[in-house]
A and B are shown apart, each in its own frame.
Chain A
Amino acid sequence: MRAVLSWLCDFADFYSLADREAPGYYDALADALADAMNARGLVVEGIEKSGMGLDQVVVAKVVEIHPIKGADRIRRIMVDAGAGHLEQIVCGAFNFSEGDHVPLARVGAVLPGDFAIGLRKMRGVESNGMLCSARELALGVDYDGLLLLDRETRPGEAIADAISVVPDIVFDLAIEANRPDANCHMGVARELAVHFGLPFSVPGAADLSGVPRRDLDPATVRTDGCDALLLARFGDVSGASVPEYVSRRLGLAGMRSISPAVDASNYVMLELGQPTHPYDLAALPAGYIGVRDGSEGEELTTLDGKRRRLSVPKGGANARDMVIVDAKDQAIGLAGVMGGESSEIGGATTSVLLEVAHFDAGMIAKTSKRLGLRSEASARFERGVDPQIAETAVARYSQLIGVVPDEIAAYSSTAAPVTVRLRLERLEALLGAALPVGKLIGDLESMGFGCSETGEGLLEFVVPSNRPDVAIEADLIEEFARHYGYANIERRQLSVPKVGRLTHPQRMRRAISEFSAARGYQEAWSATLLAPGEQEAYGDHADKITVANPMAIEESVLRRSLVSGMLRSLGANVRRGEARVDLFELGKVFSIPAAGAEFPAETERAAWLSYREQGQAEQPYGLLLDLFERFGLELSAGYRLVPSSEAGGSALVEEGFYGLHPDNSLALVAGAVIVGALGMVNPQAISRAAGEGATGVATYLELDLAATLFVEPELRRAVSVSPYPRAEFDLSFAVEPGVLAVELERRIEGALGEMEATVSLIDEYLGTGGRSLTYRVTVAAPDRTLGETELRELRDGAISAAVSPGGAILRG
């Protein structure tokens, strides 16, 4: 909503808010009003001053127009600006010809918006200033071309003298969706008048008491989306004109001046908030219009020249469009949104039928959205127009064009006013402040509320018809708070009767992140929404959750693993030439809901990706061990590592782990559930993500956090450490490729029983003789020094555990 100061002042004398004689009067006035608007929730997004700062702008007569070689968007213009010689200007507008008078901002001028005009050169041609549009001078919204001045103006004359330039201020306001009353000058002015305690009055309207009236035939309205319709017939508007300020104010408010009949309609809308629509009566057989629901496939051409086809989507009553029809039941306009071309007001219009209606907000909103067609009218109807303002609107329209209607026909089924009760005790209890209630009731009455006391501390308010936002006690409490001023409510300290603390998973999330960063990983935030087929390309063919209305198809499928996003990030980095990339991420993954469940399986995972063009990438098994060690978990307690192929590649994918090398990856299993995966990234996946040029290797670990790192370790008493010397021996085994190193390690550990032992792989040999693994075992007894015999027994036990079925063969 663009609110024009002079327009607001028609309702109350806001000019008196600053000292007219003082320098900077308009600045002071703008500040005072903007502060008040902001404090009342009419948010000021911009302030533009009009008719000021035009000292260096003069009338220039276009004398010659020359093309500029090699430029088709600018021309060289020679103008007479009263200097006694022609001056050269470069100009990009094309809406004028030789002999036209246009505004010239001279070098040194500072146009509204702090736009300083300097001497410029374009395509080697010097420009001694700028020829201006109405918008550049803040005199209107037109910027399609230069502002064309009357040819009676004198070249060189200051623009402020040549045309009637009125100093004015435009406030660009963001009006909240629940305040349709503030979407017009009357509403903004009323709010401000209450704020400043100024007398408020609505500007003059024509006296229509003598106009013949009749009730509209109920058959005129054949929809339940229109609860009031008023038609005013103006038989002769051929001599109609509107006051001079109408087109100027419309321009400042952002609307173009078209003709008196249309301008008056727009003016009434911006002033009172009631959209009206003037029809050319000559185009309406029998002078009739009606309203009904649109039907499937019905077509009409709207004022913007577009052919619109209506449809009736499934979804019931609220999904219909409403149309305005003529006597032949032909659609001639989209009700509440835009008129039709066939009955558009034109230069030849001599008689007008003015439609003033009240439409259902939801239906207008739907139509506007469905057709992608938003107009000043639809924007107001969809937020709610005052159902009681129609008569006032007609009277104001009539007064503006200076023509009294021949007849008014009306239909109305408007509901009774809303009443809301307020407990004064509740008012102060909820706000936490003592309020000057008597004064505030006066403010509400000035806003149009009716107030009566219905009991001890109990008030009843009749809500004005332009305030659909007030329906319950809390709404009234907000209204009181607004008038009191939010800023005047003294802040109070909250005392919290509880202890603030993070939960274990919340603490773990931080600890995992810190651990990973300390290890050299950068935290990534990758896409939750992926492209169709993206996960399939990495081997995941499970069903996925998809977005019904994606913005872009590349962002339409929910991720089932973090790996796709990690690979995207890897690809982007490798393409930028990175030779090593270490990324980690914590995030949610999503699977189709289990049978009967409403919500999808949404699990939190952590993933680590390590890429090296050369050399060793992170060993993911080592990372897993370190994570478990760091957070007090034991892999041997309830977890198993199984080769992906053995776990069943499909089972792994089923659980949302994919993208790994089928023969160089492991599944982490807890009980019977796969809760993680680790290993080499499938080289094909790297090529796909990073291009064929990516020659490095990547390793990967992904964990279901709830099943792994979020598990709270059992509390253990401090363990004592053996004070006796440690013995050490190495064991070498020949193993089949399918045997896991970790499996042998587990077996050896198992054989050492009560001993304090560490088993570590110290060599893996892959050669012509097959594969061999060498472990170093260190062992100590908790309560004695191990003797030779005992040590030999332990060693033999370890060997036989390792070589038992499915295991290894001892090497020499």
Chain B
Amino acid sequence: MDLEELSAALSGIEDEYRGRAPSVASLRELETLRSDFVSKKGKVALVYRQLGAMPAELRPKAGELINGLREKIEAEIAAAAPALEEAERIARLAATAGDPSALLSGSRRGAGRLHLVTRTRIELEDIFVGMGFTVEEGPEVESEWYNFEALNIPKFHPARDGQDSFYLNLGEEDSMVLRTHTSPVQVRVMQNRELPIYAIMPGRVFRRDTADARHTVGFHQIEGLVVDEGITFAQLAGTIETFTRAYFGPGITSRLRPAYFPFTEPSAEFEITCTICKGSGCRTCSHTGWIELGGCGMVHPNVFAAVGVDPERYSGFAFGFGIDRLAQMRWEIPDMRVLTENDIRYLSSV
């Protein structure tokens, strides 16, 4: 092949290229074009391979011609790419345009919520765990010994009355109950754990009440128990106050006043600043500025005796209050029965 033939061949390739280039409409077609003409197996490269058959003195000039065409085509292809790229980007967006708010009914899984009582319990647990307490549990079906006897509630005490407690048809008559309070867990913890004890005991309890706006048959209490050497009533008051500030926040404080519980002596009722009026007096607190929250006191020597703790060496305090009632206060629940109705409209709205 001489240079003339070469030129003609290259012109032919260029003509072919010029014939195809205008119809290229995509990056993919552009790539095909590049591959067909200027890749290692492309038409230009095929011509190049024929250089070997040319006289040596013609080769530099021939190479120059071939590279010239290749570079020209390469430059043109490179120049065409950005416009095609842009057009493609726009086309792709147009093809996938839409309205994200057009969510079809039923296509959403949705998120559930924890029950208000669970949420309250978790918050209470976290506060006491933060103070160094552990969380203990016990059975919901209790023997009369744990539920009453060991807690210094003797036979014939009004608290044992069938008016208030659900007795079960198990074992001997009146020997098993649905626990009426979480206090039997105190007894179990003192029996089963090493001293000292710093524990809270949340759980479900049952009272023989007609369900109404303020009562449900089952409800939840949280109990606290501290037993160690040198535990004092002053520390009980301090613990109640620490909890009150942590849970209810600033502006709410606590106070103790004398009360009676069979399993503590001295006993106290604890009240907190009314959370509605912040102490200035309102209907909720009967214009006293205080609302009653729970009971507490120093562990009664008879309770220590029942579980074999030496009351001369150890002393302790206990306290307890309703979890559901705290939930009621926080979410201003007018009727407690919503807590057990499991209406998903309600559960998902609070």
Contact = CB atoms under 8 A, between A and B. Distances in A.
Interface of A: 38-41, 43-46, 176-179, 318, 362, 365-366, 369, 382, 429-433, 469, 472-475, 477-478, 481-482, 486-487, 489-494, 496-503, 506, 510, 513-514, 516-529, 545-551, 555, 558, 569, 572-573, 576, 578, 580-584, 587-588, 590, 593, 598-600, 602, 614-615
A430 B158 contact: no
Contacts of B143: 598-599
B132 A498 contact: yes
A308 to B, nearest CB: 19
Interface string B114-143: 110110001001001111111100011101
Nearest to B347: A522
Nearest to B228: A497
A588 B112 contact: no
A179 B260 contact: yes
Interface in B260-300: 260, 265-269, 286, 288, 298, 300
Nearest to B155: A318
A510 B123 CA distance: 11
26 contacts: A366-B156, A431-B234, A474-B266, A477-B265, A494-B131, A496-B132, A498-B196, A500-B132, A500-B134, A517-B111, A518-B112, A523-B113, A525-B117, A526-B342, A528-B178, A547-B169, A548-B169, A549-B166, A550-B166, A551-B166, A551-B217, A569-B342, A588-B139, A593-B171, A602-B141, A614-B106
A432 B132 contact: no
Interface stretch (B6-14, B25-33, B69-77, B202-210): B202-210
A370 B169 CA distance: 21
Interface stretch (B37-45, B85-93, B235-243): B235-243
A482 B232 CA distance: 15
A492 B171 contact: no
Interface of B: 106, 109-115, 117-118, 122, 125, 128-135, 139-141, 143, 156, 158, 161-163, 166-171, 173-174, 176, 178, 196, 198, 204, 206, 208-210, 217-218, 226, 228, 230, 232-235, 237-239, 241-242, 255-260, 265-269, 286, 288, 298, 300-301, 315, 339-345, 347-348
Given A41-B257, A474-B265, A498-B198, A490 B234 contact: yes
Given A599-B143, A602-B140, A369 B344 contact: no
B232 A431 contact: yes
B234 A520 contact: no
Given A431-B234, A472-B301, A491-B241, A517 B198 contact: no
A176 B344 contact: no
B342 A430 contact: no
A506 B135 contact: yes
Contacts of B259: 41, 176
Given A602-B139, A615-B106, A576 B343 contact: yes
B6 to A, nearest CB: 47
- The 5 A-B residue pairs with the shortest CB-CB distance, nearest first, are A432-B232, A41-B258, A496-B132, A432-B234, A478-B266
A529 B162 contact: no
B252 to A, nearest CB: 15
A768 B125 CA distance: 58
Contacts of B161: 369
Contacts of A499: 132
A578 B111 contact: no
B208 A430 contact: no
A545 B142 CA distance: 13
B162 A491 contact: no
Contact of B342 (A43, A519, A583, A600): A583
Nearest to B109: A520
B111 A518 contact: yes
Nearest to A481: B266
B266 A477 contact: yes
Contacts of B166: 529, 547-551
Contacts of B170: 545, 593, 600
A429 B139 CA distance: 34
A570 B330 CA distance: 27
Contacts of A497: 132, 196, 228
Contacts of B233: 430-433, 481, 489
Nearest to A580: B106
B340 A527 contact: yes
A486 B234 CA distance: 9
Given A491-B241, A602-B139, A517 B234 contact: no
B112 A584 contact: yes
A580 B343 CA distance: 12
A700 to B, nearest CB: 15
B341 A520 contact: no
B339 to A, nearest CB: 6
Contacts of B345: 576, 578
Nearest to B233: A431
B99 to A, nearest CB: 23
A178 B196 CA distance: 31
Given A430-B232, A478-B266, A492-B238, A517 B113 contact: yes
A17 B242 CA distance: 35
A178 B134 CA distance: 33
A486 B340 contact: no
A489 B237 contact: yes
Contact of A494 (B129, B167, B239, B257): B239
B137 to A, nearest CB: 8
Contacts of B156: 318, 362, 365-366
A475 B265 contact: yes
Contacts of B106: 580, 614-615
A392 to B, nearest CB: 26
Given A520-B110, A602-B139, A500 B238 contact: no
A810 B137 CA distance: 54
A38 B257 contact: yes
A430 B315 contact: yes
B114 A514 contact: yes
Contacts of B286: 45-46
Contacts of A366: 156
A38 B259 CA distance: 10
Contact of A581 (B122, B340, B344): B344
Contacts of B343: 572-573, 576
A599 B265 CA distance: 30
Contact of B129 (A478, A502, A581): A502
A505 to B, nearest CB: 9
A158 to B, nearest CB: 28
Given A365-B158, A573-B344, A521 B112 contact: yes
B232 A510 contact: no
A421 B342 CA distance: 56
A382 B156 CA distance: 11
Given A430-B315, A481-B233, A491 B167 contact: no
B159 to A, nearest CB: 9
Contacts of B301: 472-474
Contact of B234 (A492, A510, A582): A492
Contacts of A615: 106
A721 B239 CA distance: 51
Nearest to B170: A545
Contacts of B234: 431-433, 489-492
B210 A551 contact: yes
Given A522-B112, A524-B342, A510 B258 contact: no
A27 to B, nearest CB: 11
A580 B345 CA distance: 11
A636 to B, nearest CB: 27
A500 B258 contact: no
Contacts of A572: 341-343
A429 B230 contact: yes
A432 B239 CA distance: 13
A323 B301 CA distance: 38
Contacts of B339: 525
A517 B132 contact: no
Nearest to B142: A599
A576 to B, nearest CB: 7
B258 A430 contact: no
